[in-house]
Amino acid sequence: MRYSQSFIHTLFEAPKEAETPSHIFLLRGSFIYPLAAGLYSLMPLGHRSVEKIKRIMREELDAIGGLEVTMPVVNPAELWKKTGRYFDIGEELIRFKDRRDRDFVLAMTHEEVVTDMAKQFVRSYRDLPVMLYHIQTKVRDEARPRAGLLRVREFQMKDAYSFHNGFEDLDAYYPKIFNAYLRIFARCGLTAVPIEADSGIMGGTGSHEFMLESVHGEDRFVLCPACGYSANTEKAAGIKPGRAAREDAPPMEKVPTPDVKTIADLLKFFGASEQDCLKTVAYVADGNLVFAVIRGDFNVSATKLANHLKAVHLDYAPEKALSEKSLYAGFLSPVAVEGVRIVFDTSIEASASYIAGANEPDMHLKNVLPGRDFSFAQPVDIAEVREGDRCAACGGAELQIRRGIELGHTFKLGTKYTAADSMDATYLDDSGEPNRVVMGCYGIGVERLMASVIERWHDQSGMQFPVSIAPYHIVISALGNQPEVVAMAERLYAKLGASREVLYDDRAESAGVKLKDADLIGIPVRIVVSRKLEKTGDVEIKIRQTGEVRICPEKELDTVLDAIFRDLEPSLENLPYMRR
């Protein structure tokens, strides 16, 4: 492709709202064009890279028996009502009516549609297992789109769905998709960290996220440097340090605290630490008031709490919900509270006494003993893991918390979507008895994956694409318009273009502009032709990811390039493969 015909229009600066490297460089490099908040068009360079990512996905999924289909973006709401997600999902799901006043949604995922398809054709155990996948547009009315392609409202997603004759068969298949995901990310130049994850609105019996460690990531995950345990902070568990027991705790005492306005004020007033306090956080779970009670040095994990409650909607309780029960924010506790469900965290010990709110303004309680001063039900883990907590898996090392970008997510859905009160999908086993189909679900955001590659592979000058998904393999930059320089560049373009994807910068621009643009768009190998080099029969080669520059005779160029591209191929060795 000649640059002059390529519709590449690079920018010297990105718009002010672009903050992450991928957002900045994809805009400046003419890979994407912003239409509205969270809506982007793919320009020719971006389109080429995305299509290469799709090809890698197809190759890896086909290799494990995947069958590609295409399912509509517009879905009848009837299907989503069957599973309950029409009502459970909030404003992120776009709902509308057609001209005949029938309800429809714009799909943000396709479990309902694919299950409806499978139940029509999966009749017998002989039809199982089967895995169907598609690469399709998804729509999510994201409240706060940000970071370019990392959080958008419309995007392309690779969805795969597997159907099985039981949980054992799903467990046997799951490592295949898990390992295929590792290969997809590795072929795109990324080292993914598989972590245990919460299943969220997808439901099911287990899931993994594949994370790219990044300072710009919105997710946080936990790593144990000793045993390798890894999990999303929404799911991770650590060992909680205990407090000294009180063999003879004094009676509970009410203490006026009129000038205590903050936690710091409270600790100073009582001469205490956060570990000495009970923190009570009020939520509304599916319309019901709930207290989450936790030791003061921990924070409540809303995800763990919602999972324990099996709540679809969980929000902080508004002041009105508290005032209706004569309760006051900032002074809450489980003492003498009626008509409120209370969930206790495992950080609370029955043998230790605490400071707590008195459920009335400007009053606190001290010497509060669980079991004596309030009913202490069986505690559960509803705490966020903290940096430095000891690993619950190996019991020794301190956990580390990292930031990351979610590259993909795999779910063992089980029978959530095939149950009788959902899509009601069954098959006949070898004895002719009906059984529930068991499902798995596996997703990767396509454009998000391209943006993640840029987050990993960039420098101050621009992007550094891996060969596998670069829009072109080579950019030829002809410096000067002398006939001999142009002739050499044309000769190289014709020769190299026969076997590799080449972008020939034939513009009437200065050397500085051409070289800066080549670095910005991140083509793996740049070949410079100039009058000085032409006189000696040489070319200059720059490897974008390493910055290495070589002078190479033109007659040896093919051999040198073959060696360079062999070295640039992403490695598939030492991946953390899952075995059954």
Give the DSSP letter string of 504-535: EE--S--HHHHHHHHHHHT-SEEEEE-HHHHH
Q: Report whether 155 contacts 136 (CB < 8 A).
A: no
The tens digit of pLDDT for each residue in 533-572 reads 999 999 999 999 999 999 999 999 999 999 999 999 988 9
Q: What share of the chain is helix, strand, coil (3-state, %, to 5)?
A: 30, 30, 40
Residue 217 three-state SS: coil
Output the CA–CA distances (angstroms, integers) from residue 108 to 175, 314, 406, 417, 443, in the order listed.
26, 21, 17, 16, 11
**What is residue 205's predicted lDDT score, i.e. its pLDDT?**
64
Q: Report whether 404 contacts 230 (CB < 8 A).
A: no
For the chain, residues classed under CATH 3.90.960.10 are: 253-368
Whether 488 shows a pLDDT value over 90: the answer reads yes
pTM of the predicted model as reported, rounded to 2 decimal places = 0.91
For the chain, percent of residues with pLDDT exceeding 90: 86
Whether 17 shows a pLDDT value over 90: the answer reads no
**What is residue 234's predicted lDDT score, i.e. its pLDDT?**
82
**What is residue 197's predicted lDDT score, i.e. its pLDDT?**
83
195: its two tokens: 């972590």
**What's the pLDDT band for 14 if we cut at 50, 70, 90?**
confident
For the chain, residues classed under CATH 3.40.50.800 are: 472-568
Q: How far apart are CA 518 and CA 320, in angstroms?
A: 60
**What is residue 200's predicted lDDT score, i.e. its pLDDT?**
60
Q: How far apart are CA 172 and CA 4, in angstroms?
A: 53
Fold of the domain spanning 16-71+107-236+401-455: BirA Bifunctional Protein; domain 2 (3.30.930)
Give residue for tokens 């467990």.
171
Question: What is the chain's alpha carbon radius of gyration, rounded to the nearest angstrom?
Answer: 29
Q: Report whether 279 contacts 382 (CB < 8 A).
A: no
**What's the pLDDT band for 204 if we cut at 50, 70, 90?**
low
Mean local confidence (pLDDT), 215-244: 88
Residue 167 three-state SS: helix
Q: How far apart are CA 34 and CA 145, in angstroms?
A: 12
Q: How far apart are CA 209 and CA 220, in angstroms?
A: 11
The tens digit of pLDDT for each residue in 339-390 reads 999 999 999 998 899 999 999 999 999 999 999 999 998 899 999 999 999 9
Whether 62 shows a pLDDT value over 80: the answer reads yes
HSE-CB for 212 with a 13 A CA cutoff: 27
**Higher confidence at residue 558 or residue 15?**
558
Q: Report whether 267 contacts 232 (CB < 8 A).
A: no
HSE-CB for 377 with a 13 A CA cutoff: 13
Q: At 2, which amino acid appears?
A: R
**What is residue 244's predicted lDDT score, i.e. its pLDDT?**
67
Q: Report whether 10 contacts 521 (CB < 8 A).
A: yes
Which of 8-12, 63-67, 260-264, 278-282 has the lowest average pLDDT?
A: 260-264
Q: How far apart are CA 475 and CA 210, in angstroms?
A: 33
What mean pLDDT, rounded, does the chain reach?
94
Whether 248 shows a pLDDT value over 80: the answer reads no
Burial string for 62-73 (b: 16+ CB within 10 Å, else e) reads: eebebeeeebee
Whether 262 shows a pLDDT value over 90: the answer reads no
Mean local confidence (pLDDT), 322-333: 92
Q: Report whether 449 contacts 152 (CB < 8 A).
A: no
**What is residue 56's predicted lDDT score, i.e. its pLDDT?**
98
Q: How far apart are CA 78 and CA 105, in angstroms?
A: 9
Helix (H) or strand (E) holding 67: strand 66-68
Mean local confidence (pLDDT), 328-337: 93
**What is residue 497's predicted lDDT score, i.e. its pLDDT?**
95
Nearest to 337 by CA among 320, 325, 351: 325
The tens digit of pLDDT for each residue in 215-229 reads 999 899 999 999 989
Residue 63 three-state SS: helix
Q: How far apart are CA 412 and CA 197, in angstroms?
A: 11
Q: How do 474-478 and 525-529 pair as beta strands?
A: parallel
**What is residue 23's predicted lDDT score, i.e. its pLDDT?**
97
**Cα 106 to chain centroid, rounded:** 21
As a whole number of Å, the end-to-end CA separation of the chain is: 47
Whether 201 shows a pLDDT value over 70: the answer reads no
Burial class of residue 545, CB neighbours in 10 A (0-12, 13-18, 19+): middle
**What's the pLDDT band for 249 if we cut at 50, 70, 90?**
confident
Adjacent-strand bridge partners of 156: 137
**What is residue 199's predicted lDDT score, i.e. its pLDDT?**
63
For the chain, percent of residues with pLDDT exceeding 70: 98
**What's the pLDDT band for 464 if we cut at 50, 70, 90?**
very high
CATH number for the segment(s) 253-368? 3.90.960.10
CATH class of 472-568: alpha beta
**What is residue 260's predicted lDDT score, i.e. its pLDDT?**
85
The tens digit of pLDDT for each residue in 473-486 reads 999 999 999 999 99
313: its two tokens: 């909607």
**What is residue 203's predicted lDDT score, i.e. its pLDDT?**
52
6: its two tokens: 């390529």
Whether 202 shows a pLDDT value over 60: the answer reads no
**What's the pLDDT band for 335 if we cut at 50, 70, 90?**
very high
Nearest to 489 by CA among 543, 515, 536, 481: 481
Q: How far apart are CA 231 and CA 400, in angstroms?
A: 11
Which of 198-202, 290-294, 363-367, 511-515 has the lowest average pLDDT?
A: 198-202
**What is residue 405's predicted lDDT score, i.e. its pLDDT?**
96
The tens digit of pLDDT for each residue in 402-417 reads 999 999 999 999 999 9
